[in-house]
Structure 1
Amino acid sequence: MSEEQRRGSLSQVHVKGFRSLRDTTLELSSEVTVLAGANGSGKSNVLRALELIGQLPAGNIQETLLRWGGFSQQLHVAPREIDNADHIEIELWEKPREVIRGLVQNGYAVRLDEAANDESLLKEKFYYWDKASHSEPFSPDWGRGRKESRLTSPDLPFDDGTPENRVRMYVRPLIEGLQAFHFDDTSLNAPPLTSTLVSDNVELADDASNIAAILLHLRETERDAYDSIVWAVRGVAPFFDDFVLRPIGDSIQLRWKQKGARQVLPGNALSSGTLRYLCLSVLLNQPELPQTIVLDEPELGLHPLAISHFVELLRSAARGRSIVVATQSVTMLNQFSIDEVVIASRQAGATELHRPDASEYEDWLEDYTLGQLWETNVLYGGYPRFESGAPQ
């Protein structure tokens, strides 16, 4: 079976004990899922949970936890200490598959318990659900604890015919295809502005640190994609002419020219918003995209027109895959339908997620935009919820 045949789409993620996510489920029922919520509602924590899962196949869990402050800093802290979490659990399911005998669905769960040196001990489950024959999925016991995931363990071949490894054949590409991107750093030393190896051109890094190498590769091998990026940037910065992509030895750095000018400019001559939009344009115009893309407030620093152009790119890229974005921007929300929105709110110290019932807002949406309903709190969740302490 080819990798393309095995590649599925994420349908649901259930998180327990992670930061503000005491017991939270995110349903990915639309190609684009827009997480909207007030400051501190937990939008970013949902995205962090997805990002953590995406680190499993590469064996980067311990490194990621350390970078985030250690395992203990990721545990849910409740208003009452007795309710504090002592472990993290994340479960995900792919969208059901149609086979000869009916629908089947594969799932995966990981449990993280505290280990020495503020690291974690990791246990995993692989689920298989034959919905035509069983009312519940086959659920094995947790595997033995280890430091990193079994998803890429060389001692467990994928084709040995065991039920667990047959499921792993589907789960691995599902998780490998989950990637979070962060383009918020646009300082003078931002990752997209640094030199990178010309050979680092297979896929865009999560911080766009290899953007110059990617652009050069696209110009040489995928000219349509390259031209789309150039036109996208001109759409928000009409003075932009083209990139200047000339390696120096084995390295290359982002440079560009203005229309009508001969001077070659460094990447840091781009405004913060233009640089961020460039990163988003390169990501979404790549011929090969991750199956699930995660973006936290991608509209930051963008002009309203640029936000509109960005959403057009987003929708085009989302065909056949899942894109999850978090926002609290009225302009951003105006670009989406209510069926694509998930509201994040905070209650008793924990994040709650819900998709609004579109039928309840039909009359409102005849006269107002989705962003207006959000801004005025008609669409519940537009305003922060004040908490009185411990849950009753």
Structure 2
Amino acid sequence: MLTTLAVENYRSLRRIVMPLGGLNVVTGANGSGKSSLYRALRLLADASRNGAVAALAREGGLQSTLWAGPEQVRKDRPVQGTVRTGPVTLRMGFAGDDYGYLMDLGLPVPIRSEFNLDPEIKREALWAGPFLRPAALLVDRSNREARIRSSGGEWERAGHQLQTFDSMLSEFADPERAPELMLVRDRLRGWRFYDHFRTDADAPARRVQIGTRTPVLSQDGGDVAAALQTIRELGPHGALDEAIELGFPGSRVDVVNTDGRFEVAFHQHGLLRPLSGAELSDGTLRYLLWVAALLTPRPPELLVLNEPETSLHPDLLPALANLVVTAAKEAQVIVVTHSRPFISSLQALSPDLHTIELVKDRGATTIDGQGPLDEPPWKWPSR
């Protein structure tokens, strides 16, 4: 389980060190930095597939995603530009009880190339335990060079130089010399993100699909019928029916199989025939998608949900909260939301809910009520 998330100079996240629990809610007003935090987590996951640089490009490049305010902010002076004293840097990392990892991206060294706007990975580090200490480092990368700590405690060269745009998470696969690196890489690749399912008339979830066993719902929800049937066959007995009854009393959902093509059939109290996926209201379909995502028979280590309450009627929020709390029994969950009624529903079901409220201070995102001494221990290494 992650215990700390740290981000620096990413959009409004000038510097944030966030403690995490088992079930976490990140909330705050519009523009407070919730979406930036969600995207930062996705960038960390992208690093495990060597996609962090490409993901930044899709957001407009490094210059568009960097903190836009001054390098130093003093509360006794108005916000104003100053002469930069340090290098341009975008840093993000996490720590848990067993391992921690961080990445530091910066501007490229000018060369004769058409890719001079691509950010470079300046530093990466993997360490054992919840705190970065020199003695705890396991794999350390500086620019193109990486080194691995041997079983005897000595440093060894990794064996080849890295490209400036390649992460050591994706480029090293040595189960003997760096098994911890492979373990952390696989963990990051297993993180699961769900963000604003489509429910419009042409949404993939409304179409009939060829069905195969689907323990993990796809990002677009197009295999929702197969995912629901997989939950019915492989998930906890009665969990699917209970979730539907809680959200829509007197209703049930079936999956119709016609020559291998699966379709949702929603039986609603008072109707003479079931409704197909194409006929469902946006809210009903969205709730079915969350049922398929959160009752997964193959839970991840980390599940991140971005505003799952969107387009749901307030009466459905307790049922959705029950799904989230159920998922948190098998996975660490981070929910990004600004819905107070939804948070209240989660609090009623989970007294140990860890709530993090983001606020803006001079354009920078901070955690409400968190002072310098309240932060988890965190240290960024020098380049």
Instruction: State the TM bucket, normalised to the shorter chain.
Output: 0.7 to 0.9
Select the residue among 64, 68, 72 that pairs with 2:63: 72
Q: Does the Cα contact within 8 Å between 1:51 and 1:179 map onto a contact in 2? A: no
Change (3 A) 1:265 1:355: same
1:57 partnered with 2:48: yes
Q: Does the Cα contact within 8 Å between 2:124 and 2:168 map onto a contact in 1? A: no
CA RMSD between the two structures: 3.2
1:22 partnered with 2:24: no
1:151 partnered with 2:202: no
1:40 partnered with 2:27: no
2:100 — aligned with what? 107
Deviation at 1:291, TM superposition (A): 0.9
Q: Does the Cα contact within 8 Å between 2:191 and 2:300 map onto a contact in 1? A: yes
Change (3 A) 1:313 1:73: same
SS of residue paired to 1:34:
strand
2:142 — aligned with what? 142
Change (3 A) 1:78 1:213: same
1:198 partnered with 2:222: no
Deviation at 1:118, TM superposition (A): 4.7
Q: Does the Cα contact within 8 Å between 1:151 and 1:172 map onto a contact in 2? A: yes
Deviation at 1:54, TM superposition (A): 1.6
SS of residue paired to 2:168:
coil
- Within 2, Cα distance between the matches of 1:192 and 1:73? 33
- Within 1, Cα distance between the matches of 2:290 and 2:369? 26
Q: Does the Cα contact within 8 Å between 1:182 and 1:207 map onto a contact in 2? A: no
Q: Does the Cα contact within 8 Å between 2:5 and 2:19 map onto a contact in 1? A: yes
Deviation at 1:207, TM superposition (A): 3.1
Q: Does the Cα contact within 8 Å between 1:339 and 1:355 map onto a contact in 2? A: no
2:157 — aligned with what? none
1:168 partnered with 2:181: yes
2:119 — aligned with what? 120
Q: Does the Cα contact within 8 Å between 1:17 and 1:75 map onto a contact in 2? A: yes
Change (3 A) 1:329 1:260: closer
Q: Which runs of 5+ in 1 are unaligned?
A: 1-8, 97-104, 358-392
| CA deviation vs aligned residue, 1:244-268 (integer Å, no higher than 9, x gap) | 332556x545443435656453324
SS of residue paired to 1:287:
coil
- Within 1, Cα distance between the matches of 2:61 and 2:2? 27
Change (3 A) 1:271 1:173: same
SS of residue paired to 1:13:
strand
| CA deviation vs aligned residue, 1:77-96 (integer Å, no higher than 9, x gap) | 116455898332111112x2
Which region of structure 1 is more displaced relative to structure 2, 49-58 or 64-73? 64-73
Given residue 47 of structure 1, which amino acid in structure 2 is its aligned partner?
Y
1:233 partnered with 2:247: no
| CA deviation vs aligned residue, 1:341-370 (integer Å, no higher than 9, x gap) | 11100111111124679xxxxxxxxxxxxx
Change (3 A) 1:136 1:288: same
Residue pairs, 1:291-306, within 5 angstroms:
291-306=301-316
SS of residue paired to 1:176:
helix
Change (3 A) 1:305 1:130: closer
Q: Does the Cα contact within 8 Å between 2:106 and 2:121 map onto a contact in 1? A: yes
Change (3 A) 1:38 1:114: same
Given residue 296 of structure 1, which amino acid in structure 2 is its aligned partner?
N
| CA deviation vs aligned residue, 1:287-338 (integer Å, no higher than 9, x gap) | 2111111112212232333211222222221125311112222212223258
TM-score with structure 1 length normalisation?
Answer: 0.73
1:87 partnered with 2:77: no
Given residue 204 of structure 1, which amino acid in structure 2 is its aligned partner?
L
- Within 2, Cα distance between the matches of 1:114 and 1:195? 47
Deviation at 1:285, TM superposition (A): 0.9
- Within 2, Cα distance between the matches of 1:354 and 1:341? 10
Select the residue among 201, 209, 215 that pairs with 2:228: 215
Q: Does the Cα contact within 8 Å between 1:89 and 1:110 map onto a contact in 2? A: yes
SS of residue paired to 2:256:
coil
Q: Does the Cα contact within 8 Å between 1:106 and 1:126 map onto a contact in 2? A: no
